[in-house]
A and B are shown apart, each in its own frame.
Chain A
Amino acid sequence: MSVYFTEDHEWIKVDGETGTVGISEYAAKALGDVVYVELPEIGRDMSKGDEAAVVESVKAASEVYAPVAGEVTEVNEALEDAPETVNAAPTGDGWFLKMTINDASELESLMDETKYKEYCDGL
């Protein structure tokens, strides 16, 4: 399984033809305490860059964008009652949704962990 990152601080963990999507540690830290997460409907078709979810913290409300095109297959309903999981484990239990990956070549435009780390250091 490989993990890719976007410039908007989403990550996608690829497992065959599906991916799990969440926000990065950097994003969770920048947002501060997350107080609310709005998840998409299962079955929604998303293009790359579409708004996939909304995450609200004590500082701001932000959109989470689809890192690649695909269909939502599962959402992390546990976040609705326990949004703090996003802060506690942004790359683990704090995942947002699972999706199909329509076109694996779209992953090539994303960053791997090392590149993403360099990208964050430059911010």
Chain B
Amino acid sequence: MKTQGRPTSPVAANDAMQPKTVSGNKALKQATKLIFETGTPRRTGVDLPEPKGRASRLGDHAREGEIGLPGLSEPETMRHYVRLSQKNYAIDLGVYPLGSCTMKHNPRLNEKVARMPGFADVHPLQPISTVQGALELMHELSHWICTLTGMPAVALTPKAGAHGELCGMMAIRARLDADGQSQRRRVLVPESAHGTNPATAVQCGFTVDEIPASGDGRVNLDALKDKIKSDPDTVAGIMLTNPNTCGLFERDIIEIADLIHAAGGYFYCDGANFNALVGRVRPGDLGVDAMHLNLHKTFSTPHGGGGPGSGPTVLSDALKTHAPVPYVVQTDEGYDLVEHKDEVSFGRMCAFHGQMGMYSRALTYMMSHGSDGLKQATEDAVLNANYIQASLSDVMTPAFGGVCMHEALFDDRFLKDTGVETLDFAKAMIDEGYHPMTMYFPLVVHGAMLIEPTESESKGELDRFILSMRHLAEKAKAGEADMFKQAPVHAPMRRLDETQAARKPVLRWTPPVETAEAAE
């Protein structure tokens, strides 16, 4: 087949350059097999006596064959996972400029507090009187969140950003239904939105109406007005990210909020990028009706690899009566949980009370920074992104002119006619020791490269990163496309076949014997 698009097939590794070892290890970097290939079902790491005198109650349901789990000793298991962790890349190892993901440092103080037994070892069904400290922490966190956002209420329970979006949109739907406005089912979403926005709207039973972007990467106000005017009685609301996914502040946001409110709809703001606003702008002052916060992005709780997220969702006066249960209230006797659904709450977002471990980390971050420190973190994040944009704008091509917010967005014009594509550039960054930036997103920018340095990086670190990026950009322009097509050469694995992985994913390991039988 023709591969005129992005070449993703593995490039033959120039193995002649690298001397092979008998073991497969490279110096003290150990080769690692799958855990199924390391252990065997016939081996066991623990010695348990055969159970005696206990008849099985499983009857016909008892398993007959081997379960096939790999048996490993404790040191083998430890080595397996530690070796894998050494192949991993983390914010604790180096710059992690993955745009839109806010990979900031996770302060160790957060970890210390999160491990306190009163927060770490509580059970959701414990008597209220025994978890007063945990409830106070949740109450205090709610207060900080409401203060920073300028909003009257917060639902703490959503467990991730998209879950928070769902919470906000369910509140909007509950309010519309309560007001006899059930015909309002059209949600306006800018084309540069996070993919979760339209997905959330559809999940909530709304239809999505896409608003095109203007030439400067923001919402096209005229198009928005036309969309509203076409059928104002069906407008349920708008879902808008600010700063948006191009790293730009939606400067017409107040007018947008007014337009939506005048049409009878509600304003959902995606707060994924709130880290660019904390201490400087309060969404409540912009006319926002609902917005989720990513504690795991803005407030430094750890994330990545599907780890625990937390997406508390702030709600305006118009929506707060529909907030989900449970929530914490302060009474004369201390703190209590409102657990039961009254007639206006839309229900609950999860079985219990949300991610306690993220609450304790986020509040620690807020209190240790203080309101002045949070503001400075915001300013430093924006300053760092602008420093990168300014330092690279002569060798790379910023997608939009002017000042950016917390992330710098480049397109691939600077790679035109070099034979190097965004993907190749990203792979070459791995050889330079940097986790690649977010690539090919947002979709509205061709060959997008979205760089978010966060406030965690020092000027020295940024300068080293910039030096590498400049070096790569200059190499690409000097016609060294081959170097890029080969990259990464220093990584544990060379370029992987993403196309084949997506077309024919192998999701289950099968023992070699089984495979041999299948081939017969």
Instruction: Tell me which residues across on chain A come within 8 A of B82, comparing CB atoms.
Output: none
**With an 8 A cutoff between CB atoms, is A32 at the interface?**
yes
Stretch at the interface among A9-17, A81-89, A96-104: A81-89
Answer yes or no: A73 CB below 8 A from chain B CBs.
no
Complex Cα spacing A29 to B2, Å: 9
- Whether A107 is near chain B, meaning CB under 8 Å from some CB there, is no
Q: Are A87 and B1 in contact (CB under 8 A)?
A: yes
Does residue A21 face the partner (Cβ distance < 8 Å to B)?
Answer: no
Q: Are A36 and B502 in contact (CB under 8 A)?
A: yes
> Would you list which residues of chain B between 495 and 514 have a CB under 8 Å from chain A?
498-499, 502-503
Query: Distance in Å from the Cβ of B440 to the closest Cβ of chain A?
Result: 5
Contact of B115 with A by CB under 8 A: no
Contact A35 to B443, CB < 8 A, known contacts A87-B3, A88-B1, A88-B2 = no
A83 to B500, CA, bound (A): 11
Interface pick from B4-12, B55-63, B306-314, B339-347: B4-12
- A112 contacts the other chain (CB 8 A): no
Task: Find out whether the CB atom of A87 lies under 8 angstroms from the CB atom of B5.
Answer: yes
Are the C-beta atoms of A33 and B443 separated by less than 8 Å? no
Pick the contact of A58: B4, B441, B443, B498 (CB < 8 A).
Answer: B498
Q: How far is the CA of A28 from the CA of B440 in the complex (A)?
A: 15
A31: nearest residue on chain B (CB-CB)? B5
Contact indicator per residue, chain A 28-56, by CB within 8 Å of chain B (1) or not (0): 11111101100000000000000000001
- Of B2, B440, B443, B502, which is within 8 A of A87 by CB? B2
CB of A115 within 8 Å of the partner chain: no
Please indicate the chain A residues that have their CB under 8 angstroms from the CB of B443 in the complex: 60
A87–B440 CA distance with the chains assembled, in angstroms: 19
Give Cα A81 to B349, complex, Å. Answer: 39
**Contact between A29 and B440 (Cβ–Cβ < 8 Å)?**
no
Q: Which of B6, B441, B498 counts the most A-chain CB atoms under 10 A from its CB?
A: B6
Taking CB atoms, residues of chain A closer than 8 Å to B4 are 28-29, 87
The size of the chain A interface, using a CB distance under 8 A, is 18
Inside 8 A of A35's CB, which chain B residues have their CB?
A: 499, 502-503
Decide: A58 near B1, CB < 8 A? Known: A32-B6, A33-B6, A33-B8.
Answer: no
Which chain A residues (55-111) contact chain B, with CB distance < 8 Å? 56-60, 83-85, 87-88
Check B503 against A83 for contact (C-beta < 8 Å).
Answer: yes
Contact partners of A83 in chain B: CB under 8 A: 503
Please tell me the number of chain B residues within 8 Å of chain A, measured between CB atoms: 14
Contact assessment for A59 and B6 in the assembled complex, using a CB-CB cutoff below 8 Å: yes
B499 near A58: Cβ-Cβ < 8 Å: yes
Complex CA–CA separation, A56 to B8 (angstroms): 15
Q: In chain B, what residue has the closest Cβ to A30?
A: B5
> In the complex, what residues of A have CB within 8 A of residue B441's CB?
60
Minimum CB–CB distance from B404 to chain A (whole Å) comes to: 23
Contacts of B503 on A, CB cut-off 8 Å? 35-36, 83-84
- CA of A109 to CA of B484 in the docked complex: distance in angstroms? 43
CB nearest to B9 among chain A residues: A33
Q: Which residues of A contact B5 (CB under 8 A)?
A: 28-33, 57, 59, 87
- B residues near A57, Cβ cutoff 8 Å: 5
- Give the residues in chain B near A30, CB-CB below 8 Å: 5
For residue B436, give the distance in angstroms from its CB to the closest CB of chain A.
14
Q: How far is the CB of B110 from the nearest CB of chain A, in Å? A: 35
Chain B residue numbers with a CB within 8 Å of A85 are: 1
Across the two chains, which residue of chain A brings its CB closest to B1? A88
Chain A residue contacts of B502, Cβ below 8 A: 33, 35-36, 56, 58
- Residue of A58, A60, A88 with most chain B CB atoms under a 10 A cut-off: A58
CA A87 – CA B1 in complex, angstroms? 7
Smallest Cβ-Cβ distance to B441: which chain A residue: A60
Q: Is the CB of A33 within 8 A of B440?
A: no
Are the C-beta atoms of B1 and A32 separated by less than 8 Å?
Answer: no
CB 8 Å contact bits of B52-86 with A (1 = contact, 0 = none): 00000000000000000000000000000000000
Q: How far is B499's CA from A31's CA once the two chains are assembled, in angstroms?
A: 12
Chain B residues contacting A87 (CB-CB under 8 Å) are 1-5
B479 CB → nearest A CB, Å: 22
Q: Chain B interface (Cβ within 8 Å of chain A)?
A: 1-6, 8, 440-441, 443, 498-499, 502-503
Would you list 10 pairs from A and B whose C-beta atoms are within 8 A, ordered by A residue?
A: A28-B5, A33-B3, A33-B5, A33-B6, A33-B502, A35-B499, A58-B499, A60-B440, A87-B4, A88-B2
- Which residues of A are interface residues toward B (Cβ below 8 A)? 28-33, 35-36, 56-60, 83-85, 87-88
10 closest Cβ pairs, A-B complex: A32-B5, A32-B6, A35-B502, A33-B499, A88-B1, A29-B4, A59-B440, A35-B503, A84-B1, A58-B498
Known contacts A84-B503, A88-B2; 18 further A-B pairs (Cβ under 8 A): A28-B4, A29-B5, A30-B5, A32-B5, A32-B6, A33-B3, A33-B6, A35-B503, A36-B502, A36-B503, A56-B502, A57-B5, A58-B502, A60-B443, A83-B503, A84-B1, A85-B1, A87-B3
